[in-house]
Structure 1
Amino acid sequence: MKTLKYILFLLLIAIIGLAIYIAVQPNEFNFSRSKVIKAPTPMVFNKVNDFKNWPDFSPWIEQEPNATLTYGDKTSGVDGNYAWKGEVLGEGNMKTTALEKDKSISQHISFIKPFESESDINWTFENTLEGTKVTWGMKGKQDFMTKMYTTFAGSIEENTAPDFERGLFKLDSIIDTDMKKYSIAVDGIKEYGGGFYLYKTTNANSTNISSKMGQQFGTIMSYIAQNNIQMAGMPLTVYNEMNNENGSIIMSNGIPVTEKIILPSGSEISCGYIPKTKSLKTTLLGNYTYLPKAWEKTMAYLGENNLEASDIKPFEIYTTDPGEVPNPADWRTEIYVPVK
C-alpha cells in the first residue's frame, strides 16, 4: 500500500511538473518562409491576392483536392474570403484584412474543425535584382491546450513551415508556367492605315536587341515629352535589314505621331512615314522572346501562299504596355509584312 501511495505521489509530482513546463512555454508563435520568384512583383502579388488562385498552390488543398471550397462575394482585396470543408482539411475560413498593393497582404485564418484556433497570415513582396522575394508568415497565440499539443507533437513552426515551403515552391512553378504561355496567329492580309512616326536607327543582334530597343524608345519618349508632341499609337520597330546568317539587323525604333514633325538640323531623331498598305499580319500573344517563332511562321505563310513582300519594310507594333500588364503571356505584338 505504501508503495502504491509512493508511486501515485511521484506521478502527481510528474504531472504538476509537466503542467508547469507546458505553462511556461511561449504564449505566441511567429515564423515565416521566403523564396525568390523570377517574375514581376505585380504578377506574384495578383496571384496571391485572389483566393480563387489558391487551389493552384495551396499545400493543404493539394492533400485533399476534392475538399469543398466556398468563395465569398469578394475573393480578392480587403474583405476577400473563402472557406473550406473536408475530411482531411477539417473546416475553416480565411479573410484578407489589409493590403498594400504589390507590397504586402494581411489575412486572418480561423480553424473550426477538428479544433478551434485563430492565427494571422502575412505576405510581403520585395522587388529584387533576381525577381520578387516572397515572404509568407504566420503568427498567433498559444493557449494551454495548444502548448500541450506542441510539447508532444512539435512546435507549430516544425509542423507547418514545410507546408509553407511547399506552397512557395508551387507558387513559383505555376507563375513560371503562366509566363511561358504563348500563341501565334497568322491573321492574313490586312490593311495598315499608315502614318508618321519619330524614330532612331541602330544595328543590333540577338544578344543586345532588347537593351538597344529600350534605350531607343526611352530617348524618343523623352523627346516627345519635352516637346509636347502628341503620340498616335504604340511603339513600333521597322526592320531595314535582317541578316539570317549571323542574326544581325538594322532597325528603326519609333513612336507614331499625329503629324509630320520638322526636327532641328543634326537631331539624332528622325521623322518617318509608313504609307497605307496591304500587309500580311501575324499576332503574337506572349513574351517578346517568342518573336523569332512568330517571324518564322509569318515567312513560311508568305512562301506557302505565293505572297511577295513589297519594297516597304516589315515592322512590329507592341500594342501592350508591359508596365501595365505584368504577365508576359498577355503581351500582344503585331507583325506586318507589306505585300505587293
Structure 2
Amino acid sequence: MKIAKYIFLLVLLFVITSSILIITKDGSYTVVKSKLIKVPKNTVFNYLAENKNWDVINPWKNTLEKGSLIKQKAFNKDSIAQIILLNTDNEIKTTLKLADSLNYTKISWITKGKMSFKEKFLGIINRGQKNNLADNFEIGLSNLNKILTTEINTFNIKIDGFVNRDTIFYIQKPATCKLEQLPNNIKIILPKLQKLLFVTKRKTNGQPFIIYHSKDTVANTITFSVAIPTKEKVQISAGSDIYSGQNNPFQAVKATLTGNYNHKKEAVAKIFAYMNENKLEQSPKYKEVDIILKNTTTDKSASKWVTEILIPVRPIKPIVKKKPKVIVDSTAVEEEPIME
C-alpha cells in the first residue's frame, strides 16, 4: 500500500509540475517553411495569386482535416496574405513570401498563432497544431514545386509550315501589358467579348485569337488585341472599348505550341529558322496572330494549353545582279586586211 501511495504521489507531483510548466509557458508560436523552386518569381507569384490553383497545392485535400482557402490578397508581386479555414471552426492567417535567389525563387510559407493549454501539452510531444501546420506547409510547398517544374516547364513545339489565312471578321479589345501578364489579360478580356456576342446574338466563326500591334523591348511590354472571329461584321456602338475589325487574306508560317505560353519565344525562334531555310521573310503588311485553342480559361493544367502561332511572310525577292556595261571606243579605226 505504501509503495502504491508513493507512486500515486509521484504521479500527482509530476502532473502538477507539468501543468505549472505548461501554464507558464509562452503559447506564442511561429511556423516558417521554405523551399527553392527553379522557376522565375513572376511565374510563381502569378500561379499562387490565382485562387483556382489552391486545390493543386492544398496540403489538406487528402487528409481528414480539411483546409479551405477563404480569402487571399496579393501585395507588390512578392507576398500573398491568406485566410485558411481548417475543418469548419479554425481560421488561420498565413503569408506566402517570394524572393529571387540566383536562378531560383525562394518561397516561404509563414503563420503565427497562440497555443491553448492542450496545444502546449501536445507540443511537448511534437504534436498539435504548430507541428501539423509545419508538416502541411512542407507538403504544400512540395506540391507547388512539382506542379511548377513539371506542368509549366513541359511543352512541345510543332512547325506546321506554310499556311493561308482567309478573310476574317472579328470583334476585338486592345490592351497593353507585360508579356508574362498576357494569359491573365486573356482570361479577363475574353469573357467580355463572349458576353457581347451573346447579347447581340452574333455567331462566332472559329477560335479566339490575339493580334500583336507593337512591342516595347525597353519596357518589356506588348500592345495587342484579344479577338473573336464572327460570321459577319459586327457594328459596335460609339464610345465602346470593344471594336470591330477585318483582316484580308495573307500567307504565314504556323507553329503549334502545346504548353505554357511562356515558351512562345522558343516557338518563334523555330518559325524564323524555318523561314530562313525556305527563303521567306516576315511581311510588314500584316500582324502576327496567335490562335487560342486551349488556355487558362479552359484548362487548369498549363501543359495542356494549345496555341497556334502565325507569322505573316512573303517570298524573299531574289537579288538581280546587273551585268557590267561594256563601253565601245567609237574612235577606234578598224584596219583593213592587206592584200598580197
TM range (shorter): 0.5 to 0.7
* Identity value in percent: 17
Say which of 245, 253, 259 aligns to 2:226.
253
Query: Structure 1: how far apart are the matches of 2:124 and 2:192?
Result: 65
In structure 2, C-alpha distance between the alignment counterparts of 1:265 and 1:152, rounded to whole Å: 70
TM-score (norm 1): 0.56
Matched residue, 1:336: 310
Q: Distance in 1 between matches of 2:175 and 2:5?
A: 91
Output the amino acid matched with 1:14.
Answer: L
Amino acid paired to 2:296: P
Aligned match of 2:193 in 210, 220, 223?
220
Deviations 1:15-65 (A, max 9, x none): 46668999xx9xxxxxxx8999815333331565xxxxxxxx8xxxxxxxx
Question: What residue is the counterpart of 2:166 in the other structure?
Answer: 194
The alpha-carbon deviation at position 272 of structure 1 amounts to 0.7
Query: 2:328 maps to what in 1?
Result: none
Structure 1 or 2, whichever has the larger Rg, is 2
1:172 aligned onto 2:148: no
Is 1:324 aligned to 2:268, yes or no? no
Q: Give the unaligned 5+ runs of structure 2.
A: 23-30, 34-44, 75-79, 89-118, 315-340
Choose from 129, 134, 138 the match for 2:73: 129
Q: Is the 8 A contact 1:192 1:279 kept in 2?
A: yes
Structure 1 counterpart SS, 2:211: strand
CA 1:133–1:243: 2 relative to 1, 3 Å: closer
Deviation at 1:227, TM superposition (A): 0.8
Residues paired across the two proteins, number = 258
Go from structure 1 to structure 2 and tell me whether the alpha carbon gap of 1:138 and 1:170 turns closer, same or farther (over 3 Å shift). Answer: farther
Higher mean Cα deviation, 300-309 or 239-248?
239-248
Q: C-alpha distance in 1, partners of 2:126/2:226?
A: 61
CA deviation vs aligned residue, 1:234-263 (integer Å, no higher than 9, x gap): 221223455667766654432111234455
Secondary structure in structure 2 of the residue aligned to 1:319: strand
Counterpart AA for 1:40? E
* Structure 1 contact 203–248 (Cα < 8 Å) conserved: no
For the Cα contact (< 8 Å) 1:325–1:331, is it kept in 2? yes
- Number of the residue aligned with 1:162: 134
- In the TM superposition, 1:263-302 aligns within 5 A as 269-275=243-249, 278-302=251-275
Kindly provide the amino acid, as one letter, of the partner of residue 196 in structure 1: I
Deviation at 1:153, TM superposition (A): 3.3
Supply the distance in 2 between the matched residues of 1:12 and 1:246 (Cα, whole angstroms). Answer: 77
Hey, what's the Cα distance between the residues in 2 that align with 1:315 and 1:18? 76
Letter in 1 for 2:292: Y
Q: Which residue matches 1:75?
A: none
CA contact (8 A) 2:170 2:246 kept: yes
Q: Structure 2 length normalisation: TM-score?
A: 0.56
| Structure 1 position 313 matched with structure 2 position 268 | no
Q: For 1:335 and 1:251, how far apart are their aligned partners in 2? A: 14
Deviations 1:88-114 (A, max 9, x none): xxxxxxxxxxxxxxxx95854xxxxxx
Cα deviation digits, residues 130-168 of structure 1 (max 9, x gap): 3694848589xxxxxxx9x96973544465443223222
Cα distance change on mapping 1:285 and 1:34 into 2, 3 Å: farther
CA distance in 2, matches of 1:136, 1:266: 45
Question: Out of 14, 30, 34, which is 2:10 matched to?
Answer: 14
Equivalent pair of 1:190/1:281 in contact (CA under 8 Å)? yes
- 1:247 and 1:199, CA in 2 relative to 1: closer, same or farther beyond 3 A? farther
C-alpha distance in 1 between matches for 2:210 and 2:140: 38
Give the Cα–Cα distance (whole angstroms) in 1 for the partners of residues 123 and 179 of structure 2. 57
Partners of 1:151 and 1:252 in 2: how far apart? Answer: 56
Unaligned stretches of 5+ residues in structure 1: 26-32, 49-56, 58-103, 109-120, 140-146
Q: Which amino acid aligns with 2:8?
A: L
* Equivalent-residue separation in structure 2 for 1:282 and 1:166 (angstroms): 40
Following superposition, the deviation at residue 124 of structure 1 comes to 1.2
Cα gap change, 1:7/1:174 in structure 2, threshold over 3 Å: closer, same or farther? same
> Which has the higher mean CA deviation after the structures are superposed, 168-177 or 257-266?
257-266
* 1:41 aligns to 2:37 (yes or no): no
